[in-house]
């Protein structure tokens, strides 16, 4: 289709992907890109890493200049230009040039909205005090660094434990500040289930970040006169006071829907701009992409807000294709995400337990702790891995991985498997790269699939860490099949100890009238124990993820901060 | 099904996976495992890494002892026990105890053959001289180290450039020896296409390994008296003499089919033990797994020999399940493989060009060189990536990746995609982990899918590095759209230079009557150039992988060693 003119609101991620793809599809189309901010095409996801100096050169964050975009793509890029209204009847946008104050109108044939999301700043007392910053733009980042340097800041309070909050906490700690991270929920990184995120809590604490979990902020107060450098004293609802030389507000984002809503475009149930499967809004000449829209969740099929750079970029490309034609449907978003927290990586895809429960989707879970590469190769370390699947169809519904190394690639495989509609039988059998420095002959992904497969086949029944306290001790027994040396390092209270290698000859010590809840360190040996016991007439369940997952889960439950 | 007794020939990988799975499935089955060698369940793939000391502790390579296997799994494991015949009528194997010389018979209800593969040792003059070693077993490895230490060896010649040869070369170089690697083909690592493997050649050379490619060995001669430590002088067919204190014979492996063939079991067209989809041999009471069998290639569907640890392990588990029931079919082998060569990783899955041509499968290829993670994040380095796909259906047929970092996870995703029957459209859209330390908003996998998608949609036509010389210069023109600084580092002879940013205004300099073959460094900017040129009425093709792939390919073609 010949398209004369496309106007794009927002020149980062989705907007710029749409612009460049449009140019490749149509040399003759006039393409105008407005951005409210001073920079387009900047590396949003890189901002935290300049705070700590890990990305030392600030200019690296500015991927493309308007001049270069003009030269290479013949784009008319206008930074510092805010689109304040859409006149849909006239097919015009109303623009304010923020440098000059001039207000003008620009025609469009198609309009693409890529306004992104705005940091949530709730109306708490004192929230707008100086020294408080969100972290979404290059000016935000510049502001934080200027404040920290000019005040010689020593302490920081990060409010909010999402991806940005956690990355900011890590980087400010790198920079030498003492960081306190406050989160109203009892856990950070909500896309992860609590027992999976607990090692991340511990990693933050072990690097000096103070966590205040389960505590909402009440407000921000001025410091006394003796505390010259302080930005605020952050006060929590339980009365705790956290003095901080700088405050980062990382309370999540909300889709930038003001322009769309004021123009009468439909806003969806998740409060994002509503789009159809081709990413078209309720106006056939207006399309929308990125953090501002709501998408269909790839697993729950519910309208969802998933502010992620990857989907935004692919949506931008897709809208360009759909404007020129032929049209293709957007396949939905899985929410695949990853974050580095000091020496740990936490990655996830699909739905977690919370999302599955909210969507009334039946699920089962397996936990395991396989090494990231062959155990006999130097540097082998376990990954905590959780696979969520449909007990009925075996379909993979979600996966989470936390470990020092190799978590990303396992989640990439699970994300591909979910997109392909694979079952646990399929992932048990995928043929992944194996040499000792990279994996194992049975990769962690295979092992997760096999564990789920065994459960579905009725070979073993699982018990989960949070269920253990629910069993009556007169009717059940916790059996530890680890070696004595491992047990010396800690044990589940009341458990009976028979190492796996002795179990077959000590069956007489176990009661046939009790349910045996078997565990080892990771669940692999206790699975063998369960198979042995079941075939000798015992009732038995395997503690999924075993001592490692139980420790993480109970530590999460009992830590009072 | 109740199974009284299973006998397994071969106690590594496939055999031991079958044994332990069998025990988990059936506590009452008598399971006897024979192995010709002194060790079972050892870490075959780890052997090269003990040579160089990277796996310092030899005992780590012995994963399980017969005693432990008895205690945990109630297995009757008999090392140093060679099965010399199968009496299929009587359902007995004939066994020689290699410690005592005793010959005896053992009954079976089901027999599983997991004899593995044997190193190929062709009948070359002098090949059985002292100081020549294969590398397949722990005694092989011990023998090499003992020889190297006792002779104070300074030079090694590795004959054969497959995975084992390359790993051995790397590790002997680590150990301080000067290594020459001789390979009859013009390239090492045959599962990779030549332009993909050339960076690996360069990596080996840059670490001091001398490569003799395209030269077959004529024989091995005794050294003169002045060369006391020498094992042999390896003589090549071109007359070159390679003196070496130790010789590693890594000429590939052949399936161990002698026992099966002598017992009258069918041997397949690829010369492995023939099995049906359930991995059953031509005798319903005899099953076979691992390197000894031929499998259906997952892409070409041809009977193939693919000696890989991952498939062997999963086959062992599957055969155990199939003996107990219900039966499941083996899905075929993709040949996913990976090797570390000093600072580079080379990984592949599915079919390469050679296999696709041999199977008469039409294919197209894209080459690209995306960074392993965000370009603005420290340490960004390109991965050479090749995707092979069906031009008709878009199905992914194979992928190869070579780079310092992140090659493994991209190949894992492609392997999963092939297993799932995904197309290039699907991989363009998979939603992988992205944060700056791990990837890019458009992951290399996505970019490869998009590049193939663009070709299939007719947006761009590719030209490949080896095709460039086939064009008549009077009818074509090579256009370099890189920046001047890049061009200073080298250029394709005869190419015209117009940087991408100037192209739109310098179109008049280009002839409309010639085919323009555009390139940049990696193919991304020249793709943009092609879109621009095509829409302005020029005939144009994009050099896939551009200067980087062209350099690798032509360097491969022209290097005379």
Q: Is residue A123 part of a domain?
A: no
The C-alpha R_g of chain B, in whole angstroms, comes to 26
DSSP string, B464-509: -GGGGGGS-TTTEEEEE-S-HHHHHT---TT-EE--HHHHTT-GGG
Q: How far is CA B320 from CA B67, B199, B282, B290, in A?
A: 22, 42, 17, 13
How many angstroms away from the CA of B52 is the closest CA of chain A? 13
Together in a domain, A419 and A355: yes
The verdict on a CB contact (< 8 Å) between A310 and B535 is: no
- What is the chain A residue with the closest CA to B14? A441
Together in a domain, B231 and B286: no
* B46, B438, B531 ranked by CB distance to A24: nearest: B531
How many angstroms away from the CA of B265 is the closest CA of chain A? 27
Confidence of residue B560 (pLDDT cuts 50, 70, 90): low
- Which pLDDT value is given to residue B1? 76
Last residue of a domain, one of A199, A221, A251: A251
* B337, B409, B421 ranked by CB distance to A412: nearest: B409
Chain B hits for A504, CB-CB cut-off 8 Å, are 71, 74
The verdict on a CB contact (< 8 Å) between B43 and A374 is: yes
Chain B hits for A448, CB-CB cut-off 8 Å, are none
How many angstroms away from the CA of A239 is the closest CA of chain B? 36
Find, among B98, B310, B404, B495, the residue nearest to A440 by Cα.
Answer: B310
Instruction: List pLDDT tens digits, range B419-448.
Output: 999 999 999 999 999 999 999 999 999 999
The verdict on a CB contact (< 8 Å) between B43 and A313 is: no
Chain B hits for A298, CB-CB cut-off 8 Å, are 431
A235 has which bridge partners? A219, A241
Q: How many helices (H) and strands (E) does chain B have?
A: 16, 30
A295 has which bridge partners? A304
The C-alpha atoms of residue A460 and residue A501 are separated, in whole angstroms, by 19
Whole-model pTM over 0.90 = yes
- What is the chain A residue with the closest CA to B410? A409
The verdict on a CB contact (< 8 Å) between B432 and A336 is: yes
* A23, A415, A439 ranked by CB distance to B431: nearest: A415
Say how many C-beta atoms besides its own lie within 10 A of residue B129's C-beta: 14
Last residue of a domain, one of A251, A274, A296: A251
Q: Does a cis peptide bond (omega within 30 degrees of 0) precede residue A289?
A: no
CATH of the domain at A515: 3.40.250.10
Together in a domain, A179 and A274: no
Q: Is residue A331 part of a domain?
A: no
Alpha helix (H) residue ranges in A457-523? 484-488, 500-503
Give per-residue burial for A400-430: e unless 16+ CB within 10 Å, then b.
bbbbbbbbbbbbbbbbbbbbbebbbbbbbbb
The verdict on a CB contact (< 8 Å) between B417 and A413 is: no
Instruction: List pLDDT tens digits, range B469-496.
Output: 999 999 999 999 999 999 999 999 999 9
Q: At what angle do helices B13-25 and B309-324 cross, to 10 degrees?
A: 30
How many angstroms away from the CA of B84 is the closest CA of chain A? 29
CATH of the domain at B16: 3.50.50.60
Interface test with B, best of A12, A25, A48, A436 (most B CBs within 10 A): A436
Instruction: List pLDDT tens digits, range A176-224.
Output: 999 999 999 999 999 999 999 999 999 999 999 999 999 999 999 998 7
Active site residues per annotation of B: 45
Tokens of B441: 């908003």
Q: Is residue A274 part of a domain?
A: yes
* B309, B415, B442 ranked by CB distance to A313: nearest: B442
Range of the domain at B483: 462-558
How many angstroms away from the CA of B170 is the closest CA of chain A? 14
Find, among B474, B478, B480, B472, the residue nearest to B497 by Cα.
Answer: B480
Tokens of A515: 């349910």
The C-alpha atoms of residue A434 and residue B75 are separated, in whole angstroms, by 27
Q: At what angle do helices B309-324 and A444-456 cross, to 10 degrees?
A: 10
- What is the chain A residue with the closest CA to B318? A429
Together in a domain, A112 and A163: no
Instruction: Indicate if the alpha-carbon torsion angle B88, B91, B93, B94 is positive or negative.
Output: negative
pLDDT per residue, tens digit, chain A (561 aa), is 799 999 999 999 999 999 999 999 999 999 999 999 999 989 999 999 999 999 999 999 998 899 999 999 999 999 999 999 999 999 999 999 999 999 999 999 999 999 999 999 999 999 999 999 999 999 999 999 999 999 999 999 999 999 999 999 999 999 999 999 999 999 999 999 999 999 999 999 999 999 999 999 999 999 877 677 788 999 999 999 999 999 999 999 999 999 999 999 999 999 999 999 999 999 999 999 999 999 999 999 999 999 999 999 999 999 999 999 999 999 999 999 999 999 999 999 999 999 999 999 999 999 999 999 999 999 999 999 999 999 999 999 999 999 999 999 999 999 999 999 999 999 999 999 999 999 999 999 999 999 999 999 999 999 999 999 999 999 999 999 999 999 999 999 999 999 999 999 999 999 999 999 999 999 999 999 999 999 999 999 999 999 999 999 999 888 755
Asked if A245 and A177 count as a contact pair (C-beta separation under 8 A), the reply is yes
Asked if B480 and B517 count as a contact pair (C-beta separation under 8 A), the reply is no
Going by the DSSP 8-state scheme, the letter that residue A162 receives in this structure is S
Confidence of residue B230 (pLDDT cuts 50, 70, 90): confident
Question: 3-state SS of chain B: helix, strand, coil percent to 5?
Answer: 30, 25, 40
**Residue A560 CB burial class (10 angstroms; 0-12, 13-18, ≥19):** exposed
Together in a domain, A59 and A9: yes
Together in a domain, A50 and A62: yes
Helix (H, G, I), strand (E, B) or coil at A172: helix
Instruction: List pLDDT tens digits, range A420-430.
Output: 999 999 999 99
Last residue of a domain, one of A222, A251, A280: A251
Q: Is residue B337 part of a domain?
A: no
Asked if A85 and A262 count as a contact pair (C-beta separation under 8 A), the reply is yes
Tokens of B186: 């013009």
Alpha helix (H) residue ranges in B298-443? 309-324, 353-358, 407-420, 424-429
Q: Is residue A166 part of a domain?
A: yes
Instruction: List pLDDT tens digits, range A135-162.
Output: 999 999 999 999 999 999 999 999 999 9
- What is the chain B residue with the closest CA to A21? B528
The C-alpha atoms of residue B518 and residue B524 are separated, in whole angstroms, by 11
DSSP E strands, A122-228: 132-133, 155-159, 178-183, 210-213, 217-221
* B331, B340, B434 ranked by CB distance to A429: nearest: B331
- Which pLDDT value is given to residue A560? 54
Mean pLDDT of B290-296: 98
| Number of domains comprising chain A | 4
Instruction: List pLDDT tens digits, range B180-211.
Output: 999 999 999 999 999 999 999 999 999 999 99
Tokens of B431: 């939603």
Cβ-based contacts under 8 A for chains A and B: 250
Together in a domain, B184 and B231: yes
Active site residues per annotation of A: 45
The verdict on a CB contact (< 8 Å) between B412 and A417 is: no
| Percent over 90 (pLDDT), chain B | 96
The C-alpha atoms of residue A478 and residue A469 are separated, in whole angstroms, by 11
DSSP E strands, A319-444: 337-341, 344-350, 364-368, 384-389, 396-403
Together in a domain, A164 and A108: no
* B337, B340, B441 ranked by CB distance to A310: nearest: B441
Is pLDDT at B229 greater than 80 in this prediction? no
Question: 3-state SS of chain A: helix, strand, coil percent to 5?
Answer: 30, 25, 40
Q: Is residue A125 part of a domain?
A: no
Q: Is residue A126 part of a domain?
A: no
Together in a domain, B175 and B239: yes
Chain A hits for B416, CB-CB cut-off 8 Å, are 413, 416-417, 420, 422, 430, 432
The C-alpha atoms of residue B443 and residue B423 are separated, in whole angstroms, by 16
Q: Is residue A557 part of a domain?
A: no
| Percent over 70 (pLDDT), chain B | 99
The verdict on a CB contact (< 8 Å) between A408 and B314 is: no
The verdict on a CB contact (< 8 Å) between A376 and B43 is: yes
The verdict on a CB contact (< 8 Å) between B45 and A436 is: yes
- What is the chain A residue with the closest CA to B62? A376
Tokens of A329: 């449907």
Together in a domain, A467 and A422: no
The C-alpha atoms of residue B388 and residue B353 are separated, in whole angstroms, by 8
Strand order in the sheet with A103-107: A81-87, A92-97, A103-107
- Which pLDDT value is given to residue B107? 98
Together in a domain, B366 and B431: yes
Together in a domain, A21 and A63: yes
């Amino acid at each position: 289709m010949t398209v004369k003119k496309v106007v794009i609101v927002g020149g980062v991620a989705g907007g710029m992907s749409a612009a460049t793809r449009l140019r490749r599809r149509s040399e003759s189309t006039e393409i105008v890109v407005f951005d409210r901010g001073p920079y387009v095409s900047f590396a949003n996801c890189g901002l935290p890493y300049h705070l700590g100096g890990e990305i030392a050169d600030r200019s690296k964050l500015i991927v493309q200049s308007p001049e270069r975009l003009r030269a290479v793509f013949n784009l008319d890029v206008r930074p510092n230009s805010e689109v304040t209204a859409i006149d849909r009847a006239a097919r015009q946008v109303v623009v304010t040039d923020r440098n000059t104050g001039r207000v003008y109108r620009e025609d469009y044939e198609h309009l693409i909205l890529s306004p992104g999301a705005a940091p949530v700043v709730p109306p708490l007392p004192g929230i707008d005090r100086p020294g408080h910053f969100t972290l979404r733009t290059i000016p935000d980042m510049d502001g934080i660094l200027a404040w920290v340097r000019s005040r010689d800041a020593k302490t920081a309070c990060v409010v909010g434990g999402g991806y940005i909050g956690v990355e900011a906490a890590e980087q400010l700690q790198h920079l030498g500040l003492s960081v306190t991270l406050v989160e109203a929920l009892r856990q950070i990184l909500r896309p992860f289930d609590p027992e999976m995120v607990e090692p991340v809590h511990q990693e933050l604490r072990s690097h000096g970040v103070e966590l205040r979990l389960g505590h909402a902020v009440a407000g921000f107060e001025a410091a006394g006169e003796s505390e010259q450098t302080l930005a605020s004293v952050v006060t929590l609802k339980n009365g705790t006071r956290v003095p901080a030389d700088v405050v980062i507000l990382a309370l999540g984002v909300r889709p930038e829907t003001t322009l769309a809503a004021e123009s009468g475009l439909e806003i969806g149930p998740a409060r994002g701009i509503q789009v159809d499967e081709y990413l078209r809004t309720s106006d056939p000449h207006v399309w929308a992409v990125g953090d501002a829209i709501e998408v269909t969740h790839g697993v729950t099929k519910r309208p969802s807000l998933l502010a992620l750079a990857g989907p935004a970029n692919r949506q931008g490309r897709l809208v360009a294709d759909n404007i020129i034609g032929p049209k293709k449907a957007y396949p939905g978003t899985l929410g695949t995400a990853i974050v580095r927290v000091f020496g740990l990586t936490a990655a996830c895809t699909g739905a977690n337990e919370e999302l599955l429960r909210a969507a009334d989707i039946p699920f089962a879970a397996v936990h395991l702790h396989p090494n990231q590469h062959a155990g006999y190769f130097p540097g082998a370390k376990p990954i905590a891995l959780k696979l969520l699947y449909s007990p009925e169809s075996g379909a993979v519904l979600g996966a989470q991985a936390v470990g020092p190394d190799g978590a990303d690639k396992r989640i990439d495989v699970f994300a591909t498997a979910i997109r392909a509609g694979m079952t646990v039988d399929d992932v048990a059998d995928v043929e992944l790269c194996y040499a000792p420095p990279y994996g194992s002959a049975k990769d962690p992904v295979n092992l997760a699939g096999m564990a789920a497969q065994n459960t579905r086949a009725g070979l073993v029944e699982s018990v989960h860490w949070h269920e253990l306290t629910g069993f009556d001790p007169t009717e059940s027994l916790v059996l530890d099949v680890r070696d004595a040396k491992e047990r010396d390092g800690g044990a589940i209270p009341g458990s009976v100890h028979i190492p796996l290698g002795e179990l077959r000859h000590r069956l007489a010590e176990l009661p046939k009238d009790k349910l045996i809840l078997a565990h080892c360190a990771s669940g692999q040996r206790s699975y063998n124990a369960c198979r042995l016991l079941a075939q000798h007439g015992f009732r038995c369940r395997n503690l999924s993820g075993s001592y490692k997952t139980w420790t993480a889960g109970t530590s999460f439950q009992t830590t009072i901060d």
